[in-house]
């Protein structure tokens, strides 16, 4: 997924990481050169859906203008990392 808005420099990746680890979801999150945050989630559908929903708002100090969600082939990521 790609998150647009004021999402870099506001703890978005660290907050996303904490929520993903707590939910037992694998994948990764990173900043893009264009100012967005990009993330990939793998795990139980309800947990992934909850993370996508959270990303549409982000942490309180972020301002999310919109998200783009795409489905991809699972890679088998068991852990979640900040890239």
pLDDT, tens digit (0-9, with 9 covering 90-100), for 5-43: 999 999 999 999 999 999 999 999 999 999 999 999 999
d(CA 65, CA 3): 8
pTM above 0.85, yes or no: yes
Q: Which tokens is 20 given?
A: 């993903």
CATH of residue 28:
3.30.70.100
Residue numbers annotated as active site = 13, 31
d(CA 1, CA 54): 12
Confidence at residue 82, expressed as pLDDT on a 0 to 100 scale: 98
How many separate domains does the chain show?
1
Q: How sure is the predictor about 75, in pLDDT bands with cuts at 50, 70 and 90?
A: confident
d(CA 61, CA 49): 22
d(CA 23, CA 47): 6
d(CA 34, CA 78): 28
Q: Can you give the residue range of the structural domain that contains 58? A: 2-82
């Amino acid at each position: 997924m790609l998150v647009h808005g004021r999402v870099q420099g506001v703890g978005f990746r660290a907050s996303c990481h904490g929520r993903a680890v707590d939910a037992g979801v694998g994948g990764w999150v990173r900043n893009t050169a264009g100012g967005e945050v990009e993330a990939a989630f793998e795990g139980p559908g309800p947990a992934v859906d909850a993370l996508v929903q959270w990303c549409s708002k982000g942490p309180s100090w972020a301002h999310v203008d919109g998200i783009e969600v795409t489905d991809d082939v699972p890679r088998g990521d068991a852990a979640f990392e900040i890239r």
